[in-house]
Amino acid sequence: MKLTRRTMMQGALAGAALGGAGFAPRWSHASVALGDMTVETLSDGHLVLPADFIFGPMPKDELGPVLAANGMTPDAALTPECNLTLLRSGDSVILFDAGSGSSFQQSAGKIADALDAAGLAPEDITHVVFTHGHPDHLWGVMDDFDEPFFYEAQHFIGKTEWDYWIDPKTVDTIDPGRTTMAVGAQRRLAEMEDAMTFFEDGEEILPGVAARMTPGHTPGHMSFEIRSGSESLMVIGDAIGNHHVAFARPGWHSGSDQDQELGAATRMALMDQIANEQMRIIGFHLPGGGIGRAEKTADGYRFVQES
pLDDT digits (tens, 9 = 90+) for 153-200: 999 999 999 999 999 999 999 999 999 999 999 999 999 999 999 999
E strand residue ranges, 102-181: 127-129, 154-158
Answer yes or no: is pLDDT of 22 > 70: no
Candidates 141, 178, 183; CA nearest to 166 is 183
pLDDT digits (tens, 9 = 90+) for 216-272: 999 999 999 999 988 999 999 999 999 999 999 999 999 999 999 999 999 999 999
Share of the chain above pLDDT 90, in %: 88
Edge-to-edge strand ranges of the sheet holding 28-34: 28-34, 37-46, 81-89, 92-96, 127-129, 154-158, 196-199
How does residue 12 score in pLDDT terms, banded at 50, 70 and 90?
very low
How does residue 58 score in pLDDT terms, banded at 50, 70 and 90?
very high
Estimate to the nearest angstrom the gap between the alpha carbon of 124 and the chain centroid. Answer: 20
Cβ–Cβ under 8 Å, residues 224 and 276: no
DSSP state of 177: G
CA distance 117 to 253: 38
Domains in the chain: ranges and CATH: 27-305 (3.60.15.10)
Q: Work out the average pLDDT over 43-48.
A: 96
Q: Could you tell me which residues come within 8 angstroms of residue 146 by beta carbon, excluding any fewer than 6 positions away?
A: 191
How does residue 27 score in pLDDT terms, banded at 50, 70 and 90?
low
pLDDT of residue 307: 65
Phi then psi dihedrals of residue 70, to 5 deg: -105, 15
pLDDT of residue 6: 38
Q: Is the pTM of this model over 0.85?
A: yes
pLDDT of residue 26: 53
Q: Work out the average pLDDT over 65-75.
A: 95
pLDDT of residue 31: 83
Candidates 46, 57, 51, 50; CA nearest to 249 is 57
Share of the chain above pLDDT 70, in %: 90
User: What is the average pLDDT value for the chain, to the nearest integer?
Assistant: 91
Answer yes or no: is pLDDT of 20 > 80: no
pLDDT of residue 279: 96
Residue type at 125 in one-letter notation: I
CA distance 282 to 30: 10
CA distance 32 to 29: 11
pLDDT digits (tens, 9 = 90+) for 105-128: 999 999 999 999 999 999 999 999
Handedness of CA 255, 260, 265, 270 (dihedral sign): negative
pLDDT of residue 29: 61
Q: Could you tell me which residues come within 8 angstroms of residue 281 by beta carbon, excluding any fewer than 6 positions away?
A: 233, 234, 235, 236, 240, 274, 290, 291, 292, 293, 294
pLDDT of residue 21: 33
Task: Please report which helix (H) or strand (E) contains residue 172, including its range.
Answer: helix 170-173
Answer yes or no: is pLDDT of 16 > 80: no
Distances (CA, A) of 26 to 31, 104, 113, 120, 236: 13, 21, 10, 16, 22
Rounded to the nearest 10°, the torsion over CA 262, 250, 80, 284 is: -60
pLDDT of residue 306: 86
pLDDT of residue 175: 95
